[in-house]
Structure 1
Amino acid sequence: MILARVGRALRSHDWFTALIELVLLVIGIFFGFQLDRWNDERLDRESADEYRVQLISDLKVERSDITSLIEYHETVRDYAEVALAAWDKQPLADPGDLVVALYQASNVLPFTSARGAYDALAANGLIDLIGDPALRSRLASYYGQATNRVFEEEKRYRREVRGVMPIDVQRRVLDNCVVLSTDTSISESLSSNCDLDLDPDYLAAVLESIKRHPNLRNYLREGVSRDSIFIYLMTAKLAFIDKLLEELQSI
């Protein structure tokens, strides 16, 4: 419509009218683009806020998982400290309990980060809409941490003790001393009270066989140190999550 009026004004040499119509055309196009831009920005802000809510949910899930993981590895470390007594001249625990402790000290649970919302924000170019630069920097630092990769290598103790412990004993420990849960996800806990229901003399012989492994006690100590470092790092990770949650929820 405007272009037609501009054309008529030019043909009639009505330069003023043509100029006015042309200005109105440019203004209309400008505002049309601006409205589209404002609408796109509004949609981006809405999407970013939805991701922010999901990010909070992911961090809460991760916090719960890490809390359980710390408790699990504290239990593993406790078993390892009991298992170290197997090399004492007069161990306080009986052979059956020591065999259980030796096996449980080899356990490990992997850590998997719940980072779907953060990765989606980054992939869709919306991360700059989350909080201020300081918060975005902390988020990038948190999700860029390689805490989980530090412990990807298998414990030497785990490999060695499971190589020397008889399979029937390992099965009894799994059947009687490990509790699997599938309530919200597959998880594992270690029972403090379990009976292998095996002959005491057989368990004493198994224990003596395990103790003869030349480096097992050193590997076990190494495992205790590794679990302690893991617990320390994960506890620090919890504090980091709490700070992030506080900032994200205040936006």
Structure 2
Amino acid sequence: MILARISKAIREQNWFAVALEFIIVIAGVVIGFQVTAWNAARVNQAREAAYIERLRDDFVDIETTTRGGIESYTEMFEAADRIMAFIESGEAEPADDAAFRSDLSSILLGTIPPPRSTTFREMESAGQLSLISDPELREMLIEIDALLARYDRVFAFVFTQQDRYGEYLNRYLVYQDTLGESGVPDVPGVSRYDLAAMRADPQFLPAMSTLRRGHGFNVYWLHSVQAEVTTLRAELDERIAE
């Protein structure tokens, strides 16, 4: 219809009509592109909001795991400290045998490192990070994922050291394995220990010192992770509340 009107106007040399028809065509195209852009923007905003909700849930879990790791490794660091202090004290028997055996039982326990955000990694692999419209928030996500990846490597190294030096402790311990009410084995507890052999072994205290230092290293790193993760989680909370 429009082409027919333009052809007629050209035959009649009605240049005003020709110009008007071209303006109508161009305006229609522009409006069409604008409507498409608005629709795409609304879709992207909805997708961004959904991703931010999922990211917040991920980082709530990461924050919880990090807090638990700090508590666990702090307890293990303090347990190693008490064991070393008693070994060096020369006292014949610990004042509280049950507490000493509890420290020996816990020194080689560990916890899983805080996970990386599955939502962030999904977005990264799919090339969807640009959906996070705020460049500062996007940069925070990238930096914290890199921090968590670095801690994974730190954790693997410290765990290897713990396994190696734990041999100096385990050779002097006898564990009692028990089943819990559900039939799942409980964490093995130390039932007996050879105090004289611990004190006689010149490698025992250096090995304990290395274990303690590894636990302290984990605490240091996890505090760094927690500070960054808590800041990001609070930022995501604010975005959701807007």
Q: Smaller-chain TM-score range?
A: 0.7 to 0.9
Change (3 A) 1:103 1:16: same
Task: Confirm or deny: 8 A CA contact 1:58 1:115 kept in the other structure.
Answer: yes
Residue 24 of structure 1: CA displacement? 1.2
RMSD of aligned alpha carbons = 3.5
Residue 117 of structure 1: CA displacement? 2.5
SS in 1 for 2:115: coil
Moved over 6 A (4+): 94-97, 188-191
Residue 47 of structure 1: CA displacement? 0.8
**Aligned match of 2:153:** 149
Q: TM-score, normalised by structure 2?
A: 0.76
Q: Confirm or deny that 1:124 pairs with 2:124.
A: no
Change (3 A) 1:180 1:78: farther
Change (3 A) 1:91 1:245: farther
Residue 111 of structure 1: CA displacement? 0.7
Task: Confirm or deny: 8 A CA contact 1:102 1:161 kept in the other structure.
Answer: no
Aligned residues: 230
**Aligned match of 2:222:** 234
Residue correspondence of structure 1 range 1-251 to structure 2 within 5 A: 1-84=1-84, 85-86=86-87, 88-90=89-91, 92-93=93-94, 101-122=103-124, 123-130=127-134, 133-145=135-147, 146-153=150-157, 154-162=159-167, 165=170, 169-170=174-175, 172=176, 175=178, 196=191, 203-204=192-193, 206-209=194-197, 213-251=201-239
Task: Confirm or deny: 8 A CA contact 2:173 2:190 kept in the other structure.
Answer: no
Q: Deviations over 1:92-151 (max 9, x none)?
A: 427886566345312222313241233344431335414xx4443333322221223222
Q: What letter is aligned with 1:169? A: V
Q: TM-score, normalised by structure 1?
A: 0.74
Consecutive unaligned residues in structure 2, runs of 5 or more: none
Q: What letter is aligned with 1:32? A: G
Counterparts of 1:180 and 1:19 in 2: how far apart (Å)?
A: 87
Residue 166 of structure 1: CA displacement? 5.7
Counterparts of 2:109 and 2:218 in 1: how far apart (Å)?
A: 13
